[in-house]
């Protein structure tokens, strides 16, 4: 950087000397004063509206890891905090790093800049829930979801999350009412899964069950698609640590997105290798399906408690990135313990 600055200074001196040479010859004092003043003004202007940090080697170097990219993005947002997509991208990166509270706060900054964006409001509400141990939507998250639906009444994610929040708050009748309009806009396979959730809420509210729409009953199997084949293996070193009566979760999740699965199956962890096929029928979120994505991360986790939320002592695999339309089986190996 020192060489760059020296060369830049020499260039400024040369240009000013050439431009002020006639004045220098006739009035040396005035010429020298103008030269110094113009050089100082150029430096001040650069530091006022330029990017001095760009002279630093660490700023010019392309990030090699997610941590480096996050550090650079944090610095950029500190310099210019009015970048909606910057905060949104930072929140997504924090989520990928497992930093739930930081993701929540970054989404909150984005919402202050775009308070009427329904996509952003739904993402921010989800982040608030993921930042809690119980994965609960608090009052502020519910307010975000309701505002999102004021802007876009059939926003699928906002409507789905609001129904979850209402069911968490022991308002099953309201949850069923919130979810029911989605049956008219989702595909048959998703409608069948959604109907199970609606009828579960209606049962809690003492209401009669809804009947499945005819297209969903007839076409749910065909709509699920060919599916993603996964072979789960267990490292021999961990075979002795396999808890009795444990469960294994086989999970597909968005690449670089939230940790919530787009497809998941639960099986007894009694025999390995285990071969499963994930498809749209395995989605826990009716508004996000496996077939909507080009790539996903696939992993498997053994849980002694049978709880879907990762806990210390669980056994897990390294996530593997795979195309959803992959023909062969994707192999994941459970070879480490969850910290």
- Closest listed residue to residue 288, CA positions, set 191, 195, 190, 165: 190
* Largest separation between any pair of C-alpha atoms in the chain: 100
How far, in Å, CA of 189 to CA of 218, rounded?
10
Residue 40: phi, psi to the nearest 5? -65, -40
Q: What's the mean pLDDT in 34-47? A: 51
What tokens appear for 97 in the block?
Answer: 């790093």
Q: pLDDT tens-digit profile of 199-223?
A: 999 999 999 988 776 543 334 444 4
How far, in Å, CA of 278 to CA of 250, rounded?
8
How far, in Å, CA of 61 to CA of 39, rounded?
29
What tokens appear for 269 in the block?
Answer: 């962890």
Q: How many residues does the chain have?
A: 339
Q: pLDDT tens-digit profile of 239-260?
A: 877 877 788 989 998 877 666 6
pLDDT for res 52: 54
What beta strand segments (E) does 180-281 contain? 228-234, 247-254, 261-268, 274-278
pLDDT for res 225: 56
Whether residue 121 has pLDDT greater than 80: yes
From residue 153, alpha-carbon distances to 21, 159, 165, 187 in Å are 70, 8, 17, 19
Q: pLDDT tens-digit profile of 77-117?
A: 999 999 999 999 899 889 888 899 999 999 999 999 999 99
Whether residue 59 has pLDDT greater than 60: no
How far, in Å, CA of 186 to CA of 154, rounded?
11
Which helix (H) or strand (E) segment holds residue 177: the answer is helix 172-179
Q: Which of 4-13, 24-33, 42-51, 65-74 has the highest mean pLDDT?
A: 65-74
Do the Cβ atoms of 290 and 324 come closer than 8 Å? yes
Q: How many CA atoms lie within 13 A of 54 on its CB side?
A: 5
Residue 296 pairs with which residues in a beta bridge? 254, 322
Helix (H, G, I), strand (E, B) or coil at 171: coil
Which helix (H) or strand (E) segment holds residue 57: the answer is helix 57-60
């Amino acid at each position: 950087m020192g060489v760059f600055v020296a060369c830049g200074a020499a260039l400024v001196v040369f240009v000013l000397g050439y431009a002020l040479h006639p004045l220098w010859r006739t009035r040396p004092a005035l010429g020298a004063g103008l030269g110094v003043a113009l050089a100082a003004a150029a430096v001040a202007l650069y530091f006022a509206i330029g990017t001095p940090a760009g002279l630093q080697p660490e700023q010019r170097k392309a990030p090699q890891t997610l941590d480096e990219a996050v550090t650079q993005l944090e610095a950029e947002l500190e310099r210019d905090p009015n970048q909606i997509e910057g905060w949104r991208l930072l929140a997504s990166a924090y989520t990928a790093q497992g930093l739930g509270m930081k993701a929540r706060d970054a989404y909150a900054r984005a919402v202050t800049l775009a308070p009427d964006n329904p996509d952003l409001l739904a993402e921010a509400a989800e982040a608030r829930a993921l930042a809690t141990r119980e994965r609960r939507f608090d009052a502020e998250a519910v307010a975000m979801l309701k505002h999102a639906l004021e802007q876009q009444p059939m926003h699928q994610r906002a409507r789905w999350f609001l129904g979850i929040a209402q069911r968490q708050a022991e308002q099953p009748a309201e949850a069923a009412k919130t979810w029911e309009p989605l049956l008219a806009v989702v595909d048959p396979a998703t409608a069948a899964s959604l109907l199970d959730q609606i009828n579960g809420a209606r049962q809690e509210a003492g209401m009669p069950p809804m009947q499945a729409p005819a297209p969903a009953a007839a076409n749910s199997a065909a709509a699920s698609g060919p599916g993603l084949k996964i072979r789960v293996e267990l490292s021999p070193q961990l075979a002795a640590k396999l808890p009795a009566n444990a469960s294994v979760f086989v999970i597909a999740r968005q690449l670089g997105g939230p940790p919530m699965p787009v497809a998941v199956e639960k099986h007894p962890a009694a025999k390995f290798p285990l071969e499963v096929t994930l498809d749209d029928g395995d989605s826990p979120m009716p508004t996000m399906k496996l077939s909507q994505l080009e790539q996903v991360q696939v992993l498997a986790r053994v849980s002694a408690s049978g709880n879907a939320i990762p806990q210390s002592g669980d056994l897990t695999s390294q996530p593997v990135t795979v195309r959803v339309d992959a023909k062969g089986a994707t192999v994941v190996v459970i070879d480490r313990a969850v910290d």
